[in-house]
Amino acid sequence: MKSIIRAAVIASALVIPAASFAQSTGHTTRAQVRAELAQLESVGYHVGDGDPTHYPDAIQTAEAKVGALDASASNYGGASSGTSQSGSRVSAADWNAMYSR
């Protein structure tokens, strides 16, 4: 009898950690997979292009590009031109135009 209880305790000790790592987010649908493939193809990655030597690098580069596109699309605010006039010098004519009356 003690051996059955001991076996049950050991079995439960082994099963509980395995169950805690199970994914609970659900399954990926075919539509989601097709959408992800379409995103990867839009940034230049082609599935089954016949070059398995560069597979990890190619897919990681494509995923990084998709991530950058998603991040730029979800940023708050509008697009910026990337230039700034902050700290520029003011000419004497501009100074006089602003502060003389």
Q: Are 40 and 59 in contact (CB under 8 A)?
A: yes
Give the Å distances, CA to CA, from 81 to 8, 75, 78, 84, 85.
66, 15, 10, 9, 12
**How confident is the model over 59-92, as pLDDT tens digits?**
888 889 988 887 776 666 555 555 555 656 667 7
Half-sphere exposure of 42 (CA within 13 A, CB side): 13
Per-residue pLDDT reduced to its tens digit, 15-34 = 666 555 655 567 888 999 89
Q: What is the pLDDT of residues 48-68, one digit of tens each?
A: 776 777 778 888 888 899 888
Long-range own/partner contacts, residues 58-67 (CB < 8 A, 24 or more apart): 66/39, 66/40, 66/42
CA angle 81, 86, 89 (to 5 degrees): 130
pTM comes to 0.45
- If DSSP codes are grouped into helix, strand and coil, which group holds residue 45? coil
